[in-house]
Amino acid sequence: MGTNLTLWGVGTPRTLRVHWALLELGLEYESKPILSRSGETKTAEYTALNPRQKIPLLQDGAFAIGESAAIVAYLARKYSRPGHSLVPEDAEGHARWLEWCFFTIAELDATALYVIRRHGTNLGHLYTDAPEVVAQCGEYFRHQLQFVEAALADGRDYLVGEKFTTADILLGTCLTWAVNYRVGICDNAVPYLERLTSRDAYQRASISNMPKDSAKVS
Ligand SMILES: N[C@@H](CCC(=O)N[C@@H](CS)C(=O)NCC(=O)O)C(=O)O
């Protein structure tokens, strides 16, 4: 398929989501491997593209979009095709997919993991360390995972409709993020996560998402 896709950003769970979705959909794209907290999100060129000065950002021709969950939803909507769809079409499946996407971003990513990232992982010089807040966020995260534990208890392979969707990309990246931070994940998420991370597109995305110069990672 002739596309003109450029993805800005590597090195974070949020950027991984977009590399993963692009590779699941078999899309070719140019990677601009800029990093967070490197100054690269603050250049005049990048700020003109994304005034929020955040990664990831996707350019699709003249169209540009930020927010990892919105980007993968856009890719799913525009580039899914029979046999390679990342979003449910039917009304109830679509609503359930939205429920998982909002839950994962609001309750797991923004409320818990990103707070732990900012206040509990050696970024005290930027955001101040806050061990009590970090402990609370870990507890909150594990409590929220009860929803995941209950859903996966019926033995489903993926979150919605037995088909892999971008909701799995969002949850999968939060689960690996939590494992890396030793926050702990629920029992049923363990085989689910293995299923996700053994996908060919995930493996290739993990490589594409690696910082090109590890000395620059902060
Ligand atoms: N909700 C946004 C969060 C994006 C975000 O906070 N990105 C961080 C890295 S994970 C960033 O670009 N920070 C800017 C910087 O540190 O330079 C998303 O999911 O895309």
CATH for 97: 1.20.1050.10
Is residue 78 located within the same domain as residue 42? Answer: yes
* Residue at 20 is within a domain: yes
Query: Which pLDDT tens digit goes with each residue over 179-188?
Result: 999 999 999 9
Mean pLDDT of 58-70: 98
123 alpha carbon to ligand 1 midpoint, in Å? Answer: 14
Q: Both 112 and 193 in a single domain?
A: yes
**Domain housing 129:** 91-199
Q: Which of 36, 40, 116 has the most ligand 1 atoms within 8 A of CB, as the residue to mutate?
A: 36
What's the gap in Å between 99 CA and the centre of ligand 1?
22
Cα 12 to ligand 1 centre (Å): 8
CB atoms within 10 A of CB 81: 9
Q: Is the CB of 72 under 6 A from ligand 1?
A: no
Within-domain flag for 76: yes
- The answer to whether residue 151 is domain-embedded is yes
Return the structure tokens found at 49.
């593209």
pLDDT of residue 161: 81
Helix (H, G, I), strand (E, B) or coil at 29: coil
Residue 218 lies in a domain: no
Task: Please tell me the pTM assigned to this model.
Answer: 0.96
Residues 57 and 146 in one domain: no
